[in-house]
Amino acid sequence: MAQLTYREAVARGIAQEMNRDERVVLIGEDIAGAGGVFKTTVGLLEQFGPRRVLDTPISEQAILGAAMGAAMTGLRPIAEIMFSDFFAVCWDIVVNQMAKTRYMTNGQVSIPLVVKSGNGGGLRFGAQHSQSIENWAMAVPGLKVVTPSCPEDVVGLMAAAVRSDDPVLFFEHKGLYASRGEVPDGPIEDVLGKAKIRRSGEHATIAALGMMVPRAVEAAERLAAQGISCEVIDVRSLIPLDAQTILDSVGRTGRLFTVEENPRALGWGAEIASIVGDEGFWDLDGPIVRITTPHVPLPSADSLEDLVIPSVDRIVAEVEKAMQA
């Protein structure tokens, strides 16, 4: 068992798959010699050489165009888009090409690739470098979308993503890169489409993703001291979505809260709320509550950014208010 940071786990997960399968290659801006702007690919150039770890020009369209072509012709590339905000530059390739090709060729051409990207706010990078865009991606048929919240899941979900025959968008929360966690020795493989219960509880279910998971767990600990027992579910995978784990939890607790970093309108929690409203309505003892970032560009000022992104204090306050109503 090793203690790894989240960023170290990214490099370990990629190395595990590159060692396992020589078809896995890594391409992106500054991912080779520099080890990535967030240092998530340190050591991979030295381990696997410049034929499999390739720096690219500053062109998101070139990165994803090259990755898609490589995937179509027999490789299993991992491409990096440095900040997830930059998907806006190359979204046509993702939405209209990667996501559609397998369907439009009746399965004759598959696109087994992973696009990893630094996602989310909290680091004072401003409105153009801080967005949480998982909800953009989950709206596109043909894409798989995952967001690990801890180092062990980074390694396991990276393995599952690389081994998928469909394109996977792998969102790494920038605010978690320095966090640490235990990672078992040896190969790790997880599965896409499976949520995890991070904390068991009896009175309410809190579904969270990415950096909101440790905040939800901390909030649940504080709420427990007040007699409110919360079950915390790490959604992990938005597409495929493990709705059953959430429905089962709501069946036990009778209440549902979602904690989302994305802007409120059309966030992933709205889809989960819709599913629970349709399929678990009679299990609910009260309204579903979404705790989200408001529908605003993220500020770079620390006090304002901290105000808009859901905090532990805000989660506690929202759950208390709803449970006491």
CA-CA distances (angstroms) from residue 54 to 24, 48, 64, 179? 12, 10, 13, 27
Structure tokens at 258: 């979602």
Q: For residue 224, what are the contacts with CB-CB under 8 A and spacing of at least 6?
A: 201, 230
Backbone angles phi, psi at 84, to 5 degrees: -65, -25
**Catalytic hit among 129, 173, 203, 295:** 129
* Whole-number Å distance between alpha carbons of 24 and 15: 9
Q: Are 115 and 150 in contact (CB under 8 A)?
A: no
Q: Which amino acid is at 251?
A: G
Question: Is-catalytic flag, 173?
Answer: no
Distance, in Å, from the CA atom of 62 to the CA atom of 14, rounded to the nearest integer, reads 21
List Cα–Cα distances, 256 to 58, 201, 204, 221, 281, in angstroms. Answer: 43, 12, 6, 17, 11
Catalytic residues: 129
